[in-house]
Chains A and B, each alone.
Chain A
């Protein structure tokens, strides 16, 4: 058998942004019909490398070979012409347009007098059928006439993939494609990708999730600090080795925790009800209790009321019914400020939207909830020295990597941003901590840090409500787990890995009560 030229070969790709060496002499290849995982933590240089390949960023040095011949890629237009397709982590779809319009965008000349017919969209129905046919050829179902804004996240991702297929792609790049998918959608996606490779397509999958690498890829290339630190054939490696390569040190993938010492109930939620628009119940008479010194995990598929639960408890959303009691104080209907003063702290699910003011400095973000109190304000004037001193203490205590407390928090990595939120919320020894998706988008190291911090708070006597769509995380940290489905608690189990199957069923809506009479 003769050696076939790889579909893609990158040789010595380097790129520097300011003082940061984002890519440092990266060499890798992808064979026809294989799935290659590009594994690395946030900031390892994966996205830069793929943006170079897609013509969005120009490399400082290095060469790109496609099917054996040198290629210069100066724009996405050229990348598309060369058969490269990319599914971005944040979808590149125009929500006001239909699926078909998104797919055909820029696939024909915008204006040409000689080919005027091509620039005109005459028969929408025919184009929609063509788009659906392309999708069907690869086993994807989409409604080409639907408006993108009306689609679920999973469906939007399918549109992105069809967009690439319609353009005749032979190398498909997917950037963290499972970050927004349910477990079911993820396995569906993986099945589809396998079909693509059977048809000869090459796929680069960017991820930092180890079990995905093991599940789907043929080979792995591991990036760290802009360099390739390892190449493995997936069959000949394991998650432990990959984690070590990715992080650069020995990592424990399991969380070590002592048995909980639960005390009196600290947070009691009874019959909490929140109506959405059209009278739908987002929370439907939901009840739960969290004792001091325990972590109650809330598992469930995204969009089943998790968001509303966190917002209602912290007072940001006014409940339409029910009671919230914190250490015997009734708090339903109280303002967020009163609730915070009662000892309830909140790690919001979207730290960039709700947890931080990105343009404010690290120091100012640390005092967001108490800037108007002593010692940060005296006689109505802010005290910069007190704020700075406090910020410096928290930067040290929570290991926030920042050159200065005056730096806008937007310039920090996701992990360090979350440490700022964490520091602000737990430094004052909360009674109740509502942690919503506390590790979303964080790398292994930062995730480990957040998990340790939550367990430390538990051991210090805080009642912690952990809301997460990452089942692994809920299982690893929780002492008890409730499953939420359509705004109701449908079951409760102890935090034990043996219950995974049961929890999975309940996440899909099945009612199971754990047999407590063992």
Chain B
């Protein structure tokens, strides 16, 4: 039975590691479906991580931290929108700048406020067991003995899919990423829809980052996102621009994170640096396997001008 317990622990870690990716990738799926690609997710996650940590530390309330992280990253998402949607700047370049801002700003804030603090730990987000359901063998502990943010990620994804596929708002978002001019002539605001999408994407990346500091590490570490923002970008493609696809892809990448941690703990004779690269190698392999996919929104990355 020992292997079963091992598997259970591995899967539990998979779900735990997938949650921040899910938040970020679902948010980015919305942005990209609306036609805006934001490669600055890494930066937004770092802003979320440091904001959540700082607010949670100062207020003693983790949830206040998560809320602040969502708001702060959404504000940066809107700033990204000002540059790319209103001013029509290149989205890739603006996203790269956002990554640098996120990295620099989060490290700066952390050092400025916590450089001299000795006890930096915060109260970790508690695991909430769902009664009865957690008694199911393997599945129970994997899905129903997690913290509330994991449940939020798991519930939010189908909701996001429903909104995208079965509401007037979702229809408008899908239209604006495929054919913005058609959307405009139907009487909708391309600019408004895209702002809404990047603000939502920012908020979700912020919560994804918050997860890392307040639910996973219980502290902030410089550059702690460690490429997850870029992996989330790959997840959006891997999930074929659908929220549920993003959830499955997040679990797949979450598994690689969990696996490398597990292998490190097993003391197998491979240098840990090689194990650590596993998720990133998986990302590259996934991108190669997915070359030439055509589900990509037509107007992705193309600024919209009202010139007729």
Hey, which bits of chain A sit against chain B, CB under 8 A?
47, 51, 54, 56-57, 75-77, 79-81, 86, 88, 91-97, 101-102, 104-106, 108-111, 118-122, 163
Contact = CB atoms under 8 A, between A and B. Distances in A.
A76 B308 CA distance: 13
Contacts of A47: 308
Interface of B: 166-169, 171-172, 174-175, 178-179, 181-188, 298, 306, 308
B168 A121 contact: yes
A397 to B, nearest CB: 34
Contacts of B178: 94-97
Nearest to B297: A96
Given A51-B308, A104-B171, A76 B166 contact: no
A86 B185 contact: yes
A81 B186 CA distance: 11
Contacts of B179: 92-95
A106 B169 contact: no
Contacts of B188: 77, 105-106, 110
A76 B186 contact: yes
Contacts of A51: 308
A54 B187 CA distance: 10
Contacts of A106: 168, 172, 183, 186-188
A88 B171 CA distance: 21
Contacts of B306: 56
B171 A101 contact: yes
A412 to B, nearest CB: 17
Contact of B175 (A94, A108, A122): A94
28 contacts: A54-B185, A56-B185, A57-B308, A75-B187, A76-B185, A76-B186, A77-B188, A81-B187, A92-B181, A93-B179, A94-B174, A94-B178, A94-B182, A95-B298, A96-B174, A96-B298, A97-B178, A104-B168, A105-B171, A105-B182, A105-B188, A106-B186, A108-B168, A109-B168, A111-B167, A111-B169, A120-B166, A121-B171
Contact of A120 (B167, B172, B187): B167
B305 to A, nearest CB: 12
Contact of A97 (B166, B174, B187): B174
Contact of A92 (B169, B185, B298): B185
Interface centre among B169, B174, B186, B306 (most CB of A within 10 A): B186
Contacts of B168: 104, 106, 108-111, 118-121
Nearest to A103: B186
B28 to A, nearest CB: 19
B171 to A, nearest CB: 6
A110 B172 CA distance: 8
B308 A56 contact: yes
Contacts of A95: 178-179, 298
Nearest to B188: A106
Contacts of A104: 168, 171
A92 B168 CA distance: 18
B165 to A, nearest CB: 8
Contacts of B182: 91-94, 102, 105
B185 A110 contact: no
